[in-house]
């Protein structure tokens, strides 16, 4: 009886990932495979920029750390390269790693806060795999935003989860002490009139 031999997984380098063409896709590495996902919708982008702006303003005002967008690569401990929709890394961790604003490399580990905004094609298995990578690589808090149900799942680990609906607030807890953002503001209509 012969045993099946599994082909070795490709180990991607930062140079290879950074050399990928701007082809309209977001690129990540998962289990040695290049995963491409299409750009996101208008609504997804609007939610992302609303929350990013609030986090950047708060973090800058209190000098807490860096808020990053979905173009930022994070090397997980298993060599997956993930890019959450929004990320936060506190100044203490950046300082300890000697990470500078003009770094030309991906971050070694997961962000302390990882935010994912669900798209219609996301599956629970995919989100759980992302959370496994995040929490095993340094994430302390994850927010999974569901635009369809206008809710957010607050995850402090793979098993410690809480669902928030309308009327609730996103809170920065120990990572962004004092940050409090009304959940309804993520999903509101424009009020230009």
Model's pTM, two decimal places?
Answer: 0.83
Residues 59-78 pLDDT 10s: 999 999 999 998 898 999 99
Q: What is the DSSP letter of 19?
A: T
Residues 78-133 pLDDT 10s: 988 899 999 999 999 999 999 999 998 889 999 999 999 998 888 899 999 999 99
pLDDT averaged over the chain?
88
Pick the range with the lowest mean pLDDT from 73-82, 92-101, 161-170, 171-180.
73-82
Could you tell me the strand order of the sheet in which 33-38 lies?
Answer: 33-38, 25-30, 81-82, 74-75, 107-108
Q: Which of 139, 42, 121, 34 is nearest to 84 (CA)?
A: 139
- Name the residue with higher pLDDT: 38 or 128: 128
Percentage of the residues of the chain whose pLDDT score is greater than 70: 79
The distance of Cα 63 from the centroid of its chain, to the nearest Å, equals 21
């Amino acid at each position: 009886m012969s045993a099946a031999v599994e082909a070795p997984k490709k180990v991607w380098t930062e140079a290879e990932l950074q050399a990928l063409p701007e082809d309209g896709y977001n690129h990540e590495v998962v289990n040695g495979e290049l995963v491409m996902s299409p750009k996101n919708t208008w609504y997804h982008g609007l939610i992302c920029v609303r929350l990013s702006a609030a986090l950047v303003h708060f973090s800058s005002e209190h000098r807490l750390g860096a808020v990053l967008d979905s173009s930022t690569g994070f090397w997980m401990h298993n060599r997956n390269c993930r890019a959450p929709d929004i990320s936060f890394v506190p100044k203490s961790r950046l300082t300890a790693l000697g990470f500078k604003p003009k770094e030309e490399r991906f971050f070694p580990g997961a962000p302390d806060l990882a935010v994912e905004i669900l798209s219609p094609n996301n599956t629970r298995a995919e989100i759980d795999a992302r959370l496994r990578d995040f929490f095993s690589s340094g994430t302390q808090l994850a927010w999974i935003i569901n635009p369809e149900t206008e809710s957010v799942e607050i995850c402090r680990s793979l098993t410690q989860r809480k669902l928030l609906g309308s009327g609730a607030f996103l809170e920065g807890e120990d990572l962004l002490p004092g940050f409090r953002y009304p959940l309804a503001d993520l999903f509101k209509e424009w009020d230009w009139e």
